[in-house]
């Protein structure tokens, strides 16, 4: 982690940082911001767990996808901004603290969004987050004339989208689902539109480390959620074989997910070449599914523990799918955006889709978590052994 500058109190010009800057790593402020975002991640995971336990698999998954989009999108946009512009002075730190406040407001609204469909609090938190980011883009526009067109596009795009979200709160209930889709498309289009006017000077190693750290955080949250649920299940039903299989499978899954993600360094895909610039958007956007599936895995394991001990209304296959579907999504997404560009032969690539099919089929087995963990561990062995 990068040591913070003792002279950070002085106001500095917010010019773009060099993509070739040596020893560029995450700052303590960035890590603090990540930990606060994870409060919202934990709320989303807990709410998805509740929906799955009640048997609302499709509705819960759709609500989780929307809520997690707001968390991930706010986190990702700040991460790429900070990689390009981070003077680490007092105004910058205060603006980031406002963003952190927004993330906590957003977290406070997650449960209401899940249970009642009330988007007011979560939208308020999102607007606080994004307005603070727009202010940072405006500051960059004033300080960096060479990239003013790009930074102004970012600021304008972010603020127009916030007006759209506010308008959506006032829209009639029947048109909101379509309006949400329109707003998501608008949000993800802003960086593409803005950077068509010129690239911001993001740092490949810094971006790779930021994504790696957030992956560790969401995997840790997933492990924590599953551990609490399995422990509670053991308290209610001591020593059942199904619970031991679930605990062992969950542990194997966590180990395998970590191993697969960190099998290859991300920064080599993001080096400042023409090919890397074309790859950056699929890689960056694809991590929505990486982070969301890792978070959903913890909720799925917790819901399966409830299924084993409380005999919830979900069928065994549906309860198993809550474990296997997130694992399959994680596996395929990590392969497509993170590992496949490194692979040159069909023999290296074919194990991933084959393993994903096996993981999905594990939903119908008597011990879906254990079988999924074994399949993922076997894939790790296939990926690792030939490289020795």
* Residue 335 DSSP one-character state: I
Query: Smallest Cα–Cα separation from 233: which of 372, 369, 362?
Result: 369
Cβ-contact 281, 192 below 8 angstroms: yes
Average predicted confidence (pLDDT) for the chain: 87
Task: Name the token pair of 361.
Answer: 């089929």
Q: Which residues contact 330 (CB under 8 A, 6 or more apart)?
A: 257, 289, 290, 293, 294, 297
User: By C-alpha distance, which of 131, 195, 133, 197 is closest to 165?
Assistant: 131
**Of the spans 66-80, 103-117, 345-359, which averages the highest pLDDT?**
66-80
What confidence category does residue 3 fall into, taking pLDDT thresholds of 50, 70 and 90? very low
**CA nearest neighbour of 355 among 366, 341, 339:** 339
DSSP string for residues in 153-169: HHHHHHHHHHHHHHHHH
Which residues lie closer than 8 Å to 97 by C-beta, 6 or more apart?
none
Return d(Cα 155, Cα 133) in angstroms, integer.
8
More confident residue, 111 or 264: 111
What fold characterizes domain 204-387?
I/LWEQ domain (1.20.1410)
CATH 1.20.1410 residue window(s) in the chain: 204-387
What does DSSP assign to residue 145? G
Q: What six digits make up the tokens of 271?
A: 């080096």
Instruction: Evaluate if pTM is beyond 0.85.
Output: yes
Question: What does the pLDDT average to over 343-365?
Answer: 88
Q: How far apart are CA 44 and CA 111, in angstroms?
A: 8
Asked if 244 and 373 count as a contact pair (C-beta separation under 8 A), the reply is: no
* Angle subtended by helix axes 351-361 and 316-334, to nearest 10: 160
Can you state the angle between helices 28-53 and 57-84, rounded to 10 degrees?
Answer: 170
Distances (CA, A) of 383 to 248, 334, 335, 355, 387: 22, 13, 11, 12, 7
Tens digit of each residue's pLDDT (9 = 90 or more) over 252-297: 999 999 999 998 877 777 765 445 566 778 888 999 999 999 999 9
Exposed / middle / buried, residue 250 (Cβ in 10 Å: 0-12, 13-18, 19+): buried
Token readout for 14 is 């917010």
In this predicted structure, what is the pLDDT of residue 68?
A: 94
Two tokens at 134?
Answer: 């727009």
DSSP summary character for residue 250: H
């Amino acid at each position: 982690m990068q040591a913070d500058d003792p002279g950070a109190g002085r106001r500095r010009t917010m010019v773009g940082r060099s993509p070739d800057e040596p020893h560029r790593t995450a700052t303590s402020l960035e890590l603090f911001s990540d930990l606060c975002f994870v409060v919202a991640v934990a709320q989303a995971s807990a709410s998805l767990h509740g929906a799955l336990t009640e048997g609302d698999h499709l509705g819960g998954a759709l609500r989780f996808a929307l809520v997690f989009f707001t968390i991930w999108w706010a986190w990702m946009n700040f991460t790429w901004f900070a990689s390009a512009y981070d003077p680490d002075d007092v105004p910058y730190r205060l603006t980031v603290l406002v963003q952190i406040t927004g993330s906590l407001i957003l977290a406070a609204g997650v449960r209401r969004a899940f249970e009642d469909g009330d988007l007011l609090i979560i939208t308020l938190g999102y607007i606080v987050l994004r307005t603070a980011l727009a202010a940072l883009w405006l500051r960059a526009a004033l300080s960096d004339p060479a990239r003013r067109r790009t930074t102004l596009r970012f600021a304008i795009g972010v603020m127009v989208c916030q007006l759209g979200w506010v308008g959506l709160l006032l829209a009639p209930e029947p048109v909101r689902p379509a309006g949400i889709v329109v707003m998501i498309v608008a949000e993800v289009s802003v960086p593409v539109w803005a950077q068509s006017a010129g690239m911001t000077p993001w740092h490949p190693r810094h971006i790779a480390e930021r994504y790696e750290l957030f992956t560790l955080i969401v995997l840790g949250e997933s492990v924590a959620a599953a551990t609490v649920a399995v422990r509670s299940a053991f308290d209610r039903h001591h020593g059942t074989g199904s619970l031991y299989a679930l605990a062992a499978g969950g542990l194997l899954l966590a180990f395998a997910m970590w191993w697969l993600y960190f099998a290859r360094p991300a920064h080599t895909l993001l080096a400042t070449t023409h090919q890397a610039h074309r790859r950056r958007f699929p890689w960056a956007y694809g991590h929505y599914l990486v982070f969301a599936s890792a978070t959903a895995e913890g909720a799925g394991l917790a819901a399966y523990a409830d299924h084993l001990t409380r005999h919830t209304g979900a069928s065994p296959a549906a309860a198993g799918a809550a474990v296997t579907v997130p694992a399959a999504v994680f596996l395929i997404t990590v392969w497509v955006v993170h590992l496949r560009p490194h692979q040159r032969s069909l023999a290296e690539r074919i194990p991933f889709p084959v393993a994903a099919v096996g993981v999905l089929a594990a939903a119908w087995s008597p011990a879906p978590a254990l079988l999924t963990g074994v399949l993922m561990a076997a894939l790790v062995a296939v990926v690792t052994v030939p490289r020795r």
